[in-house]
Amino acid sequence: MSDAALREQMCLLARSLFERGLTHGSTGNISARTEDGGLLVSPTGTSFGRLDPARLSRFDAAGRHVGGDKPTKEMPLHSAFYDTRSSAGAVVHLHSCHAVALSMLPADEDNFLPPLTPYAVMQLGKVKLLPFFLPGDPAMGAAVRGLAGRRSAVMLANHGPVVAGKTVEAACNAIEELEATARLALLLRGAGARALDETQVRAVVSGFDVEWD
């Protein structure tokens, strides 16, 4: 995809997420690999609803900021995914309400999302719940690097989800699935809902070639 087309796609998908309430104000950030190995990144302090394709931060293949506005302060988080997952073509971070709410409740840190439907398993694999960090803390990137590329999605406690995908569209679809599953988990909390059992989860993992450790 050309640089110009990728810029337009990033802004279109970001605006869609914003308009449907998956992030708000100036929260969230998005990045994508360019054809030459560089990165396009949403600027710091910008709203997903009003991103300007021409003002996206541009990095070259060596990681130098070569154009556009100053990038998001969460660059260490994005860089950690690109550096540890060769398949990562895009990274999206949101402050989506239901996922953040679920992160404040007791959870399995190694597998944050309950397997309520096959779709979160298919699109996300296991989601690692990371502890709270101050926004912009490089330690978030270090925590992702510590996973050695084993997870495509993490949940930052009291903060928001971060998902890497092969494309911008794939990353956005996956993070929407994360939020939808978190919403289901909250709606069903305490109701004795039937989640997928281990045999069913393994069938999904095997049938759709899901990364699952």
The rounded distance, in Å, linking the Cα atoms of 146 and 184 is: 30
Q: Any idea what DSSP says for residue 127?
A: P
Q: How far is it, in rounded angstroms, from Cα 9 to Cα 92? A: 13
Of 19, 74, 177, 179, the active-site residue reads 74
Q: In whole angstroms, give the CA distance from residue 4 to residue 180.
A: 31
* Catalytic hit among 19, 82, 119, 177: 119
User: In the annotation, is 82 catalytic?
Assistant: no
119 part of the active site: yes
Strands, sheet with 57-59, edge to edge from the N-terminal-most edge strand: 65-67, 57-59, 39-41, 29-33, 90-93, 160-165, 153-156, 128-130
What ranges in the chain are assigned the alpha helix state H?
3-19, 75-84, 97-103, 118-124, 139-145, 168-188, 198-207
H or E element that contains 91: strand 90-93
Nearest to 146 by CA among 201, 53, 77, 60: 77
Where in the sequence numbering do the catalytic residues fall?
Answer: 74, 119
